[in-house]
Amino acid sequence: MDSSILLSPALGICVGILMGLTGAGGGILSVPLLVFALHMKMVDASPISLSAIALAASVGALIGLKNKLLRYKAAFFMAIFGVIFAPAGFWLANQIPNGPLLLIFSAALFYSAFNQYRQARKTSFGIVDSPRKPPPCLIDPSIGKLYWNVPCARALALTGGLAGFLSGLLGVGGGFIIIPALKRYTNLTAQSIIVTSLGVQALISGGSVIFSAATGGFNFLVAAPFSLGALAGLLVGLAISKKLSGPRLQQVFAIMVLGVAVSLTIKGLNGL
């Protein structure tokens, strides 16, 4: 039996635990794990990563919907543009050699690591962001729903499109793009932002997996155990997250992502 089929559920469990402890951002390590542990090319690892993210994010989004935290209209709106632009990312990924593609992914990891560490440090020290003008997407207090207007729709469409493009290009859910954007363009609560981001990622990742499978670039034998392992790990991570989660854990995770980014950079440079 292929060793990758035996190893993939263990890798999925690791990813799922990280997602449960740190939020959806843990899924960004799916591709590096598949690249290093299973010696896969990025273009092959990306759809497998997306299948795990789609499954785990769907569970989180459904829980958020039950708790009335998911802004499903905004999530669907962003996902529409994400699904439209994801095939362009897939196409571009197949045109770029593996070495340069690894360097592009490492750049995304560097961005994610520094952003997470900065946000965790602010939370740890109680640093409050300076006042800014009202965002374009505001909750209407009279009905408890987002007030839709052209600037709001434009901001969410651009965010969804970028997340979808990166989903296809790098095999990431796009949470490192969606969450900061929702913080900037809306006045949603932190919990609602995370859950809405999960909803967007579930839809975009699911659409990307369907597109990948339709074009023949999806390894079901590795993806299925990897995704199920990620789901099991997610449930474990969620169960222990109340005891271990917090700014310090986010900082540790950011340092871990930074280390992976450096390793991918070296691997990418060697592949040039």
- Write out the chain's pLDDT in tens, 272 residues: 466 677 889 999 988 888 877 765 667 889 999 999 998 999 999 999 999 999 988 988 898 899 888 999 999 999 999 999 999 999 999 999 999 999 999 999 999 899 888 888 887 777 766 667 889 999 888 888 888 999 999 999 999 999 999 999 999 888 888 988 998 999 998 888 888 988 999 999 999 999 888 888 788 989 999 999 999 988 888 788 767 667 788 888 889 999 999 999 999 999 88
pTM of the model: 0.89
∠ Cα 120 194 113 (to 5°): 35
Q: Where does 125-256 show beta strands of DSSP type E?
A: 138-140, 145-147
pLDDT at position 1, please? 46
CA 17 to CA 208: how far, in whole Å? Answer: 23
| Residue ranges per structural domain of the chain | 3-270
Residues 27 and 55 sit within 8 Å (Cβ to Cβ) = no
Residues 105 and 264 sit within 8 Å (Cβ to Cβ) = yes
The conformation of residue 57, written as its DSSP 8-state character, comes to H
pLDDT at position 203, please? 95
The conformation of residue 176, written as its DSSP 8-state character, comes to H
